[in-house]
Amino acid sequence: MIVKRRFVAYYRVSTRKQGQSGLGLDAQRAAVANHLGDELGNVLAEFTEVESGRRNDRPALDAALTAARLHRASLVVAKVDRLTRSVGFLERILEAGVDVRFADLPAIEGPTGRFMLQQMAAVAELEAGLISTRTKAALAAAKARGQRLGGHRGGSISEEARRQGRDTQSSLADRRARDIAPVLKQLRVEGIASPTAIARALTGRGIPTARGGTTWSGPQVRLIEARLARAGQLRPSPTRQ
């Protein structure tokens, strides 16, 4: 079965520069439409950021990234400089874990595209330098404590590494639950409340599961609800199926 690719479009306009240099909203939409061609119908949502020149927050970008994660869709931007002029924007993209496509640079997509994007913004070099510095410092500190380095290749993992792994997985699960929370609340407003009914609704709406599956189950919904309930973001659903 061929999986249809899905997209979320993100536009940025300035109150001062909207009509200059081909960066107006109409021009950006036209660039995205030309880039996607027959796939334009696969755009799930559009988000437009209107910049005042004084704001550092980007609520439309955050909303676009949330939608892209929720639907396992790619973020589409008209021009590469709409994001890469700011390292902060790039960091948000990389941390969000979504694929990004630029209409003026079609080659930038997937793992290779992410690497190219990092190089263009000089982030990869900085990140590698910081990681190298931290690694060397950690090794030096471990050696100073008398910890034996190297030699053993049994593949054992320290308890600290295990804890960090669990924390990372938990953080990703929390983020996924937060992304789905608005959908669950809307379903309840529509009278869809039991885990089984919610699972059918999520499947029908084409929202992927945490592992990228296409079919939801009641237990999966309960896990999401339990995580949100612990965070005080959602009431537990009725027990009746």
What's the rounded Cα separation, in Å, for the pair 24 and 53?
16
CB atoms within 10 A of CB 229: 15
What's the rounded Cα separation, in Å, for the pair 52 and 50?
7
Q: Does the active-site annotation cover 14?
A: yes
Q: Which two tokens stand for residue 34?
A: 């030309």
Residues 14, 86, 194, 217: which is the catalytic one? 14
Q: Give the residues across from 47 on adjacent strands.
A: 10
The residues annotated as belonging to the active site are 14
